[in-house]
Structure 1
């Protein structure tokens, strides 16, 4: 299960339901995907297919929706 948290332009931000416990968000884009850690600060974990420009835009999308993502994480995973 991979519930969508945010759609913003060409980006879809989502969680995988059964993955590691460290808070993070997955980002899908028509050109590729990325995973960003959310704590202690937003940081790129991995990516495939995205340009530096697309990764920077993905990070801006995460920043715009940061609190919404964290709230969704706690709602989905508990705690």
Structure 2
């Protein structure tokens, strides 16, 4: 489970085994037992939310957009 970014208690990561066939590029975010998943392309969008409130999702969406290139590069480097 490569962790790409830690920010204010949030851990941005992806799972080493994302399934077969491999899903499109995405990032998971976890904090305090809650987790969300964001698709990275063609545009950042929420794929799943398990416990975060709407305000936190908005913050996480913005952070994911700001770090989209970092996350996509890490994804492609890892799964290449």
- Normalising by structure 1, we get a TM-score of 0.89
Alignment correspondent of 2:31: 29
* Secondary structure in 1 matching 2:11: strand
CA distance in 1, matches of 2:23, 2:51: 25
Aligned residues: 77
Kept in 2, the 8 Å contact 1:4–1:14? The answer is: yes
Query: Which stretch of the first structure deviates more once superposed, 13-22 or 40-49?
Result: 13-22
CA distance in 2, matches of 1:65, 1:33: 18
CA distance in 2, matches of 1:6, 1:17: 16
Show structure 1 runs of 4+ deviating over 4 A: none
* Secondary structure in 2 matching 1:7: strand
- Kindly report which structure 2 residues correspond to 1:56-67, keeping only aligned pairs within 5 A, or say none: 56-67=58-69
**1:5 paired to 2:4:** yes
- Normalising by structure 2, we get a TM-score of 0.88
